[in-house]
């Protein structure tokens, strides 16, 4: 059967791109798995390459350093487990976000990995920058929720969004690191309601 040479010539070549995407995904998955299994300190580029089935040179082509790789992989993991909600109300958004966030505290493996990353960020300046860059992306999600709420009139436009975002994450990190109380997803709705009440009360006091 004859073929049209021109049509064949113009057919997009996607095999290479798909292989790159598959390899990229495999590296991220392998990095996350090794981080959860052994912690940041024991993770090596060699180990990731072996687990992912790629060459070390492939990893270094996409990530310059181990911290960059680890935080990119963890960002991918977090975005999947704690995505940005859009329920139509701030109460619903905060409850959904906190429920997903608090579930991390019920998983000892992920709790250990995350507290280990936080500790590493305090000790290693090279790791601190990508870690804080990841923190900023998570804060941006909450700021977006609060910004939408000001547009809907649920909280005043004068709300200090930076401080309000701190109030969302404060209980999570404090309980995760201090361990004085559990992180229970069942508490998410009550915590969201308390925060929302405080923001509205502050607006009333200003007036």
For domain 82-206, is the CATH number 2.40.30.10?
A: no
Please report, for the chain, the start and end positions of each structural domain, with discontinuous segments joined by +: 12-64, 82-206
Is the pLDDT confidence value at 9 over 60? no
The per-residue pLDDT for range 130-158, each reduced to its tens digit, is 999 999 999 999 999 999 999 999 999 99
The per-residue pLDDT for range 27-58, each reduced to its tens digit, is 999 999 999 999 999 999 999 999 999 999 99
State the chain's mean pLDDT as an integer. Answer: 91
CA distances from 189 to 12, 179, 193 (A): 50, 21, 6
Global pTM value: 0.86
Torsion of CA 23, 77, 162, 199, to 10 degrees: 150
Confidence band, pLDDT 50/70/90 cuts, at residue 60:
very high
pLDDT of residue 206: 52
The per-residue pLDDT for range 81-129, each reduced to its tens digit, is 999 999 999 999 999 999 999 999 999 999 999 999 999 999 999 999 9
Cα 151 to the center of its chain, rounded Å: 25
Asked, colleague to colleague, whether 12-64 and 82-206 share their fold, the answer is no
Count of C-beta atoms within a 10 Å radius of residue 66: 18
Torsion of CA 26, 111, 78, 53, to 10 degrees: 0
Confidence band, pLDDT 50/70/90 cuts, at residue 13:
very low
* Whole-number Å distance between alpha carbons of 43 and 38: 7
Express as a percent the part of the chain with pLDDT over 90: 87
Q: State phi, psi for 66 to the nearest 5 degrees.
A: -60, -45
pLDDT of residue 17: 67
- Among residues 46, 6, 50, the alpha carbon closest in space to that of 26 is found at 50
**Helix runs in 39-159, H state only:** 45-52, 56-62, 66-81, 90-103, 108-123, 125-152
Superfamily of domain 12-64: Homeodomain-like (1.10.10.60)
């Amino acid at each position: 059967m004859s073929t049209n040479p021109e049509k064949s010539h113009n057919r997009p070549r996607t095999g290479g791109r798909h292989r790159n995407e598959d390899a990229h995904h495999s590296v991220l998955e392998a990095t996350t798995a090794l981080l959860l299994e052994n912690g940041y300190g024991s993770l090596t580029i060699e180990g990731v390459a072996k687990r992912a089935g790629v060459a070390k040179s492939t990893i270094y082509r996409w990530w310059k350093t181990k911290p960059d790789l680890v935080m990119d992989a963890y960002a991918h993991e977090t975005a999947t487990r704690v995505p940005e909600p859009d329920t139509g109300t701030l109460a619903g958004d905060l409850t959904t976000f906190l429920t997903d966030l608090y579930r991390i505290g019920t998983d000892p493996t992920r709790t250990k990995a995350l507290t280990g990353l936080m500790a590493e960020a305090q000790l290693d300046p090279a790791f601190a920058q990508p870690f804080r860059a990841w923190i900023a992306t998570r804060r941006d999600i909450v700021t977006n929720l609060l910004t939408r709420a000001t547009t809907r009139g649920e909280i005043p436009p004068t709300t200090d969004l930076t401080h309000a975002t701190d109030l969302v994450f404060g209980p999570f990190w404090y309980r995760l690191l201090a361990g004085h109380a559990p992180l229970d997803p069942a508490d998410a709705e009550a915590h969201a309601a308390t925060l929302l009440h405080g923001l509205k009360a502050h607006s009333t006091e200003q007036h």
